[in-house]
Amino acid sequence: MLSLRQSLRFVTPATRAFSTSRIFLQSKHTNKTAQSLAEVKDNESLIGPGAKEGSVPTDLEQATGLERLELLGKLEGVEFFDTKPLDSSRKGTMANPIVLDSYEDYRYVGCTGSPADSHTIMWLKPTVKQVARCWECGSVYKVNPVGVPHGHGHH
Ligand SMILES: [Zn+2]
């Protein structure tokens, strides 16, 4: 079985996007299972609670680790595994931000500075209307809306 880190590499060969993997490694131990993205703190929080007695477990109850992260993401409309690696070759500035293509009018970004991993991951949410600036390194991220892809229709 692949370790979490290995499977992350497999999903995204480039180093930067998977700065996101660090959320599993750096946080302190909890036994609480995350029910939403905001509650995802570490690996433990991604272990599904399992089925309640006498019921068939749902995907969400059974999913653990990456799978759970992905499911939680989907519930909130976040695609973790459809993202290009962030450009960590430079810091974004207000005049020249790091531009992120997005199908939505916002993106979640895990900034770890430039070069990648130079600071603890900071989650940012730039929107079409507003750039996001990393609290740690000051890098600026901007969303570039690229329209809605096929099969991603509105409900
Ligand atoms: Zn940063």
Separation of CA 122 and ligand 1 centre (Å): 6
Please tell me the total count of domains within the chain: 2
Q: In this predicted structure, what is the pLDDT of residue 79?
A: 58
Residue 101 — φ and ψ, nearest 5°? -70, 140
Supply the pLDDT for residue 40. Answer: 72
Asked if residue 155 belongs to a known ligand binding site, the reply is no
For residue 137, the model assigns a pLDDT of 95
What secondary structure does DSSP assign to 46-110, as a single string?
A: GS---PPTTSPPPHHHH--HHHHHHHHHHHTT--STT-PPP--SS---SSSPEEEEESSSB--EE
Asked which of 75, 97, 115 is the last residue of a domain, the reply is 75
Is 119 annotated in a binding site? The answer is yes
pLDDT along the chain (155 residues), means of 10: 45 44 44 72 69 69 68 68 67 93 82 88 89 94 77 51
152: annotated binding-site residue?
no
pLDDT tens for residues 42-54? 766 767 676 667 7
pLDDT score for 51: 65
pLDDT of residue 126: 92
Question: How much distance in Å is there from the Cα of 119 to the middle of ligand 1?
Answer: 7
Same domain, residue pair 32 and 90? no
Contacts of 3 (CB under 8 A, 6+ apart): none
**What predicted TM-score, i.e. pTM, was given to this entire model?**
0.46
Q: What is the pLDDT of residue 144?
A: 87
Same domain for 69 and 126?
A: no
Q: What residue numbers bound the domain in which 143 lies?
A: 82-155
